[in-house]
Every structure is written in C-alpha cells, then in structure tokens.
Amino acid sequence: MATVIFDWDGTIAESASGITRSVQYALSTVGIEESDVNELTHFIGPPLSVEFKKTYDMSDDDIRKAILAFRTRYETEGILECNLYEGIEDLLQDAVERFGMSLAVASSKTESQLHRLVKHFNLESYFDVICGSAPEAEEPERIKTGKSNKAQVIEKTMHLMEMKYGELVKADETYMIGDTIYDMEGASMQGIHSVGVTYGYGQRADLEKYGAETLIHSVDELYDYLYSLSSL
C-alpha cells in the first residue's frame, strides 16, 4: 500500500493571496513597504524567518516582530483567502477509496492553522495524519540548526503514521508531493520518493536541483500518476 504525503500550499490549495497580503502587512510593521504582493510569492512554503532574513537581512528582533504581525493578520483574515485547486478533492477521494492509499498532509504552517484549513474544506476523512509545525519552529535561532523546518515536519509525519498503523512506514512505498525545494529536501532526508508539482509556487529548475524524482504539471497529471502507483 502506497503512503502519500501532501504539502498544502501550492499542492492542495491555491493560497497565495492570503499569505502574500499577510506578509505585506508584516513587513509594514518593521518599516518595509512592498506595494506589489506578486513580488512576495517566494514567501509561500519556506519558513518565514528564513525568507525575512534572506530577503531583507532583518535582525532577529525584527523577524520576531514581523512573524507576530503576520500571524495576527493571517489567522484573522488571510487563512481563508484560498481555494482548493480544481480537481484536488476528487483526487484525494479516489486516492483513498479507489487506489487504496494512505494519505497524510504535512505543512510548515502551524498545527492549528493546518487543522483549521483541512476542516474548513471538509477534507479530514481523507487524511490519516495532519501534521504542521510548532509555533516556535519559526524562531530565528531554529533556522541555524541545519535541518529545515519542513524536513522535521515530514519526519514527524512519518512517525505519527507509524504510530497509527502500528508498523514501520516503508520508505520505498512512501511519496512526498510538494511544490518547493523544502519538500524535495525533506523527502531526500527521509529516504522517500520526491514528487515535485510545477503548478504551485516553486520553480521547475529548483525542484530538479533538489532531487525531484518526478515532475507533475497539473492536478490531472497528478491523478494519473497516483493511479499508476496503485497498479504497481
């Protein structure tokens, strides 16, 4: 039985608007004005602390302030400024009911945010495990540990699945599906298959550079890919 772990942003949900507007607001609280939210899509997926430091060379104090402001705006307005990609709910339903797969969702969002979104879109029944990050994972000092936040979330997801099943999750039958280098990197660190989707927010060249074994260009193509796995 194949185990499939999905990223959320850029894989299951088109969520750019809520995230980029919240980043725009967060930047304004530390004196940075960005008028075009389309220039902020690189904040989708990676830990906020990483992008604030890399893009604006923020101090740790400003990073903390910006993250707090982001959460304030995102959790009150931005979180529901998103939609499922067309066809994704049918894909999840068939993956479970027709293809006999075990599904999980793993995101760098906080655990509470991810559960809220999954519940909002009535997707709880499709996932055996719903795994987000702890709020403290965005602390600036955490980004210096050498292991990305997403890699830790994937590791935790697999552990939770093993606890649920009462047996080891087989790496050669486990697939991480996501749109960023952090998904590919995390899959590699866990020794599982990496599937990069180019319909999200990552770049094809980056996905390939960070080890994507397979590239998928649409939800329809992803459906066909999962169907092919079910017949192995």
Q: Rounded CA gap, 183 and 149, in Å?
A: 10
Which residues are designated catalytic? 7
The angle subtended at Cα 204 by Cα 11 and Cα 33, nearest 5°, is: 75
Q: Quick check: helix, strand or coil at residue 9?
A: strand
Q: Rounded CA gap, 217 and 77, in Å?
A: 30
**Quick one: tokens of 208?**
């390939």
* Element (DSSP H or E) covering residue 103: strand 102-110
Residue with tokens 């066809």: 87
